[in-house]
Chains A and B, each alone.
Chain A
């Protein structure tokens, strides 16, 4: 590099946000690190990091461009492959993806690909460079239901292919869980909103605050557009199905994070019980700690071995003072004057059932009570079956059935979390981005086929 390395002004949070819940837990790389990492990269051919990235970012190419001071080119390489590349730089479980595949992992240490990607995308955000231009107009109209990572990625790709795009988004802002659901100390909303801006700047009609199925009917969308991409993600956390859930002080993990992210004051004093042990539970637990909770305990009905949170997330939670209790099944939430006062658990045994699966079996007589002030539900996300029914899209328990992004309806396509089956791969932003991109190409093939008199 010839000049001094770029120092992002974006990493200093706004004054009003300077609380533990908003300050990034992961500082950006320093000047020297960026240069050393960029020059340390071996520029492998047919690189394993690129193969390991679900969106196949040409990692060696973007890193080489950092080393040659071509940050504009570098940003293009990243964002072309992954329209959600700025968020991914911060939230991807890189130890399982690109960095896990780095050939230097064993003898040295993997190149800090995520951090370098963040450096470049921070630069792009700070400088406001224009990265892409839309393709020549095709005259075809595509509706996208849901402006999260999958929907935005599809929108970007469809604009590059020249199709007119309208995004329907229930919330007031785009970005989906990147904007509303991932804790701000890991992903500030501003990053995700910048990504959304990159997409809308290509000339996308954005209808925020518009719920398909409520504010506009599914039929209207189906009849007004040449193709529809369903990218509605999943919903909030389902109920536990136990008594006491309506008490004040019982939170939905995603809703709690959403409020914090939107800058609303969310007091979480005293003792907190988090139910569930996936990444959502970890996010909610660490968020609660940062909001001032004195004691945060994660209760999981199975054991550490079955926990779905990533090891790095687990370690992070412990370092934040979160305590884990295994094999505890909530039975009821106790309260007084409408407020949570405690929660009762029963211990569980994990037994193998006949077809090789594992069953959670309460141990009779092992009930115990814990005094708590807050209970946070974090046992996964609900499905948007009602919308799927309204559209007439085939699904299995709310999971859209797809082959290569196509649904049972020829003009309806689907991408992202709404297609991820439970028990399959962990839902990830980067997967949603890749699916959005690929689905857009399927839509393009469909529309081109129609133009040529096919379908």
Chain B
């Protein structure tokens, strides 16, 4: 068994799986249940000095072809429980689970004294770190907090500085994805003295409209507001932001990856793209704390199978492979190859290529009176579409072909021909 323990800016945990700040970390009861199940750490549901009032209802789920839950949207705010109650429970959790990471997520009105007063009170409870919620995209942002701070690099820097001045434990800044380029706010966090960044918080969204009542989904007494989107559907967006920060010299900070992590494979991808650990919310809301068992075991078996002694051996190993488009080799080519033995003749690849790609999959005699689909490798541009629509794993593979051209990127081409 590999060593799964991780260290994010000095915050240690027995495994890289933390609960994200969200309903699963709303109370000590829940966090203790999670720790009993095996979670490595928990970021407490965002605390503030002046508890909010939440609405009913709050969430909506996106079903994809009848399957729940591809994505989830929420209009919940932050903790609506008194700060003192939360702090008492944090103390109790730390006492019972000293080896787990307990992080306090904070969102405070952007005033130095208020930030610093709360930071001092909360660190007295024995938290292992802070996570500054500059990401909540709804409600709090209308009050000048959350993503209203997180979308303005100067405010991110300033608020972070206020916290860093008094914090005695590491400070993580949680970034919002509702911004054009996350690197700008990540750099601001670094300049403000953050010890780590975490991303992503939820993405602005409106889940749907009820076709009977014409109410937005979810609605509160007939009206709706935009919410935050998360779950499996957001993973590619989150992964991109993590990778962008991981390769940015202006963000020399460890990263906690959040967004759509549901399986150990998702986690391994985030780690490879530079995250030091991951945080999970929707997958737990969907299936409970018990998913941690397979997250830990699956990652362990993966590391064992690859002969890696520690999860840290994965961190960032793919970052150098994630580059600017202009650095991709334009001479490289793959073409589709259909394994006729595996093909079930649904013709999905045919129609996809015919209508939406380059018309290079053709019906042909298979030699025994039947028909088969063949790829015209001269026409195929290697776009992957047929491979993606094929329902049979391993049936359509993309194989490399020799173009006879030396490797050349757009950047190289430009420098020669410009």
Which residue from A4, A5, A65 sits with its C-beta under 8 Å from B294?
Answer: A65
**Complex Cα gap A18–B393 (Å):** 30
Q: Determine if A73 and B394 form an interchain contact, defined as CB atoms under 8 angstroms apart.
A: no
**Complex Cα gap A106–B293 (Å):** 30
**Complex Cα gap A72–B302 (Å):** 10
Binary per-residue interface labels of chain B (154-189) against chain A in the complex, 1 for a CB within 8 Å, 0 otherwise: 000000000000000000000000000000000000
Closest Cβ neighbor of B298 among chain A residues: A70
Q: How far is the CB of A215 from chain B (nearest CB, A)?
A: 43
Q: Determine if A68 and B392 form an interchain contact, defined as CB atoms under 8 angstroms apart.
A: no
Which residue from A1, A35, A39, A73 sits with its C-beta under 8 Å from B301?
Answer: A73
Binary per-residue interface labels of chain B (390-403) against chain A in the complex, 1 for a CB within 8 Å, 0 otherwise: 01111000000000
Q: Determine if A69 and B394 form an interchain contact, defined as CB atoms under 8 angstroms apart.
A: no
- CB-CB < 8 A to B67: which residues of A? 39
Which residue from B290, B301, B394 sits with its C-beta under 8 Å from A70?
Answer: B301
Q: Is B288's beta carbon under 8 Å from chain A?
A: yes
**Complex Cα gap A69–B295 (Å):** 11
Closest Cβ neighbor of A43 among chain B residues: B287
Q: How far is the CB of A430 from chain B (nearest CB, A)?
A: 24
Q: Is B376's beta carbon under 8 Å from chain A?
A: no
**Complex Cα gap A68–B300 (Å):** 13
Interface residues of A in 57-93 (CB under 8 A from B): 61, 64-65, 68-70, 72-73
Q: Using a Cβ–Cβ cut-off of 8 Å, how many residues does chain A contribute to the interface with B?
A: 19
Which residue from A3, A4, A45, A70 sits with its C-beta under 8 Å from B297?
Answer: A70
Using known A-B contacts A68-B263, A68-B264, determine if residue A4 contacts B393 with beta carbons closer than 8 Å: yes
- CB-CB < 8 A to A43: which residues of B? 287
Q: Determine if B301 and A5 form an interchain contact, defined as CB atoms under 8 angstroms apart.
A: no
- CB-CB < 8 A to B263: which residues of A? 68
- CB-CB < 8 A to B318: which residues of A? none
**Complex Cα gap A72–B264 (Å):** 14
Closest Cβ neighbor of B300 among chain A residues: A73
- CB-CB < 8 A to B291: which residues of A? 64
Q: Is B30's beta carbon under 8 Å from chain A?
A: no
Q: Determine if A31 and B301 form an interchain contact, defined as CB atoms under 8 angstroms apart.
A: no
**Complex Cα gap A5–B394 (Å):** 9
Interface residues of B in 380-398 (CB under 8 A from A): 391-394
Q: Is A223's beta carbon under 8 Å from chain B?
A: no
Q: Determine if B265 and A68 form an interchain contact, defined as CB atoms under 8 angstroms apart.
A: yes
- CB-CB < 8 A to B298: which residues of A? 65, 68-70, 73
**Complex Cα gap A70–B290 (Å):** 16
- CB-CB < 8 A to A1: which residues of B? 393
- CB-CB < 8 A to A45: which residues of B? 288, 290
- CB-CB < 8 A to A3: which residues of B? 393-394
Interface residues of B in 359-418 (CB under 8 A from A): 391-394
Q: Determine if B301 and A32 form an interchain contact, defined as CB atoms under 8 angstroms apart.
A: no
Q: How far is the CB of B306 from chain A (nearest CB, A)?
A: 13
Q: Is A2's beta carbon under 8 Å from chain B?
A: yes
Closest Cβ neighbor of B297 among chain A residues: A73
Q: How far is the CB of B299 from chain A (nearest CB, A)?
A: 9
**Complex Cα gap A60–B298 (Å):** 15
Closest Cβ neighbor of A4 among chain B residues: B394
**Complex Cα gap A39–B262 (Å):** 13
**Complex Cα gap A32–B263 (Å):** 20
Q: Determine if A61 and B394 form an interchain contact, defined as CB atoms under 8 angstroms apart.
A: no
Q: Determine if A73 and B393 form an interchain contact, defined as CB atoms under 8 angstroms apart.
A: no
Q: Determine if B294 and A68 form an interchain contact, defined as CB atoms under 8 angstroms apart.
A: yes
Binary per-residue interface labels of chain A (45-57) against chain B in the complex, 1 for a CB within 8 Å, 0 otherwise: 1000000000000
- CB-CB < 8 A to A2: which residues of B? 265
**Complex Cα gap A32–B395 (Å):** 11
Interface residues of A in 287-321 (CB under 8 A from B): none
- CB-CB < 8 A to B264: which residues of A? 68, 70
Using known A-B contacts A68-B265, A69-B265, determine if residue A35 contacts B393 with beta carbons closer than 8 Å: yes
Using known A-B contacts A45-B288, A68-B263, A69-B265, determine if residue A61 contacts B393 with beta carbons closer than 8 Å: no
**Complex Cα gap A39–B64 (Å):** 13
**Complex Cα gap A45–B287 (Å):** 8
The listed residue with most A CB atoms (<10 A of its CB), out of B264, B291, B298, is B298
The listed residue with most A CB atoms (<10 A of its CB), out of B263, B294, B344, B391, is B294
- CB-CB < 8 A to B391: which residues of A? 32
**Complex Cα gap A5–B342 (Å):** 12
- CB-CB < 8 A to A73: which residues of B? 294, 297-298, 301
Which residue from B287, B293, B392 sits with its C-beta under 8 Å from A32?
Answer: B392
Closest Cβ neighbor of B339 among chain A residues: A4
Q: Determine if A64 and B265 form an interchain contact, defined as CB atoms under 8 angstroms apart.
A: no
**Complex Cα gap A231–B67 (Å):** 47
**Complex Cα gap A416–B393 (Å):** 43
Q: Determine if B294 and A70 form an interchain contact, defined as CB atoms under 8 angstroms apart.
A: yes
Q: How far is the CB of B201 from chain A (nearest CB, A)?
A: 26
Q: List 26 A-B contacts (CB under 8 A).
A: A2-B265, A3-B393, A4-B393, A4-B394, A5-B393, A31-B394, A32-B392, A35-B393, A39-B67, A45-B290, A61-B290, A61-B293, A61-B294, A64-B291, A64-B294, A65-B294, A65-B298, A68-B263, A68-B265, A68-B294, A69-B265, A70-B264, A70-B297, A70-B301, A72-B301, A73-B294
A contacts, CB < 8 Å to B: 1-5, 31-32, 35, 39, 43, 45, 61, 64-65, 68-70, 72-73
Q: Which 6 residue pairs across A and B have the least CB separation, nearest first?
A: A4-B394, A70-B298, A73-B297, A4-B393, A68-B263, A72-B301
